[in-house]
Amino acid sequence: MDIAVIRSYLPLFQEAGWLTLRLGLMGIALAIVVGLICAAVHYWRIPVLNKIVTVYIEISRNTPLLIQLFFIYYGLPKLGIRTNPAACGVAGLAFLGGSYMSEAFRSGLESVATIQRESAMSLGMTNGQTFRYVILPQAMSVSVPPFVANVIFLLKETSVFSAVSLMDLMFTAKDLIGLYYNTTESLFLLVLCYLVILLPVSLLGSLLERRLRYAGFGV
Amino acid sequence: MGRELLSIEHLTKRYGDLTVLEDLSLTVQEGQVIVIVGPSGCGKSTLLRCINALEPIQGGIIKLDGQEIDRDTKKLPELRQKIGMVFQSYDLFPHLTALDNITLAPIKVQKRKKAEVEAEALQLLERVGLKDRAGDYPRQLSGGQKQRVAIVRALCMHPEIMLFDEVTAALDPEMVREVLDVLLDLAKQGRTMLIVTHEMQFARAVADQVIFLDGGQIVEQAPPDQFFEHPKTQRAQKFLNTFTFETIKNHGGNDYENQA
């Protein structure tokens, strides 16, 4: 391994890392919004929408992100919708992540026993108050572990962004290998960059989980 | 006895084709303690759940203080504040301490001052012997303690009537007493209560009126002494017999079969 090579590649990887992180976080933020909406639709069993959400979740979870990205990147222009690679990446991640987030939130909401809702209601709470003060806090403690797992999973999934010509970490590494054949250095930097991004997220996640466990949940 | 507080007229409740309560009518006067007994599945719990509008009903009218309790009314949360309900499975909110369990609804729903509500909650906790457990989470409390906190939680809303749905059924025998003592204390204070229970001796001690429910109908309604000493209907007699045991003196014989 050549330190000089690594040093010269570093700025390129840094830039690609920022792109990965930026698009990844934007996609995850959107996925959270989509997930919350879907979980709410399922939780309150809103007619028609409930069915649509189910279909969306099955499609989203049972197709690879790469294929979803191709559909968005090559398919949408055929329908006359102009896009750019970055928007496609974010949209693809939100499409995939939305269903995973929805399931994480839903499992939390459904883990709260019906009697909890009933006793809140019998104390005179409105639906909103019941949700805010009784259901949500309990659901969150159950949802956090799968939520953290999803964030890590989605950040890793950004590695297929290179397929729609986004200059992310993966793209940069492959590009450099193709140009200069410095395989070892490129792959080393690639792994390192992902670790730098993901390890803090992982640690933060375990901290959050432990904090919630100690918060005195569980009957 | 005071004014009429709760009135149920021709209540009918069905789950699909199954009729659980049929044309049931009942009035509760202010300050009255009514105990509802009956075999499992006779509709006792369903009756209480209907009063609190936790179940949709298929016929009849339930009124509290002259106001109809209807699942579609906007006033439902307001009406429910006047009805304190305690469930069989101690249903405390697991993410809140005992004190926060009690004060949540008075503060958020009734918009009362936190200091005032907490003072009252602590006073009530002291009354049920749990003042020193105020900061504990439900998982740190025993079943009987949880149930007493649940009773205080309902009390703190200043309800006009209280419903108790087999509140001792899930408790270990030695914890039943501590909860029943709290109910007896409430009865002495003149609270209006509807109690569903399987504790017959307790029923006899606490009730002004005993209602025997079977097959979704009130089969018998009488003062406790009369009901337990001289039940009029055969169904009530049969039901009460299931709570008495005759001593088996001859273990070698087939007495057991004779009694069954």
> Do residues A185 and A193 make contact, with C-beta atoms less than 8 angstroms apart?
no
CATH number for the domain including A120? 1.10.3720.10
Q: So what's the ipTM on this one?
A: 0.85
- The reply to whether the predicted model has a pTM over 0.90 is no
Query: For the segment A43-64, what is each residue's pLDDT rounded down to a tens digit?
Result: 888 899 999 999 999 999 999 9
pLDDT at A10 over 60: yes
Domain count, chain A: 1
Question: Are the Cβ atoms of A124 and B78 closer than 8 angstroms?
Answer: yes
- Looking at residue B260, its pLDDT comes to 44
Q: Which residues of B touch A122 (CB under 8 A)?
A: 52, 54, 80, 83-85
Q: What is the DSSP string of A169-185?
A: HHHHHHHHHHHH--HHH
Inside any domain, residue A47:
yes
Alpha helix segments (H runs only) across chain B: 44-51, 76-81, 98-108, 114-127, 143-155, 173-188, 200-206, 224-229, 234-241, 255-259
**Cross-chain CB nearest to B95 (options A118, A126, A216):** A216
For residue A147, what are the domain limits? 3-214
**pLDDT of A219 higher than 70:** no
What pLDDT, in 10s, does the model give residues A72-96? 888 888 888 888 889 999 999 999 9
The answer to whether position A174 is within a domain reads yes
CA–CA dist B187, B168 (Å, integer): 16
A64 interfacial to chain B (CB closer than 8 Å): no
* DSSP conformation class of A164: G
Amino acid at B153: R
Assigned token pair, B216? 């979704």
pLDDT band of A218, cuts 50, 70, 90:
very low
- Chain A residues 86-145 with CB within 8 Å of chain B: 113, 115-116, 118-126, 129, 133-134, 137-138, 141
pLDDT band at residue A104 under the 50/70/90 scheme: very high
Residue A59 lies in a domain: yes
Q: Do A116 and B93 touch (CB under 8 A)?
A: yes
SS3 for B13? strand
Give me the residues of chain B with pLDDT under 50, please: 259-260
Residue B27 vs residues B10, B78, B220: alpha-carbon distances, Å: 11, 21, 14
In a domain, A219, yes or no: no
Distance from CA of A57 to the nearest CA of B (A): 31
Considering CB atoms only, which of A118, A133, A138 is closest to B108? A133
Specify the DSSP class assigned to residue B41: T
Residue with tokens 């009429």: B4
- Domain assignment present for A184: yes
Cβ of B80 and A124 within 8 Å? yes
Instruction: Kindly state whether residue A19 falls inside one of the protein's structural domains.
Output: yes
A218 vs B94: CB contact, 8 Å cut-off?
Answer: yes
- Rounded to the nearest angstrom, the minimum Cα separation between B254 and chain A is 46
pLDDT tens, position by position, B175-216: 888 889 999 999 999 999 999 998 888 999 899 999 999 988
- The beta-carbon neighbor of A125 closest among B77, B137, B150 is B77
